[in-house]
Amino acid sequence: MLGWAITFLLIALVAAVFGFGGIAAASAGIAQIIFVIFVILFLVSAIAHVIRGRKPPM
């Protein structure tokens, strides 16, 4: 998912250089949404790992 965010970010940057406002805005918006989803999933995963933890072997 992070790869998609980076892809849309690059599309937005290239479109911004060429002055295509609509394409740049749409790609930047999609990149932001995907990045936020990625960060939320990462935080949920990190919290689940901390809560679950590792149990010592018997």
Any domain includes 44: yes
- Report which DSSP code applies to 55: P
Label residue 53 left, alpha or beta by phi (over 0 means left) and psi (-120 to 50 means alpha).
left
**Which positions of the chain have pLDDT values less than 50?**
none
Domain assignment present for 27: yes
Assess if residue 11 is contained within a domain: yes
| Helix, strand, coil share (%) of the chain residues, nearest 5 | 85, 0, 15
Range(s) of the domain holding residue 46: 2-52
Domain tally for the chain?
A: 1
Q: What counts of helices (H) and strands (E) characterise the chain? A: 2, 0
User: Does 57 reside within a domain?
Assistant: no
Give the per-residue pLDDT at 21. Answer: 65
For residue 38, being part of any structural domain is answered with yes
pTM for the predicted model, two decimal places: 0.57
The predicted pLDDT at position 55 comes to: 65
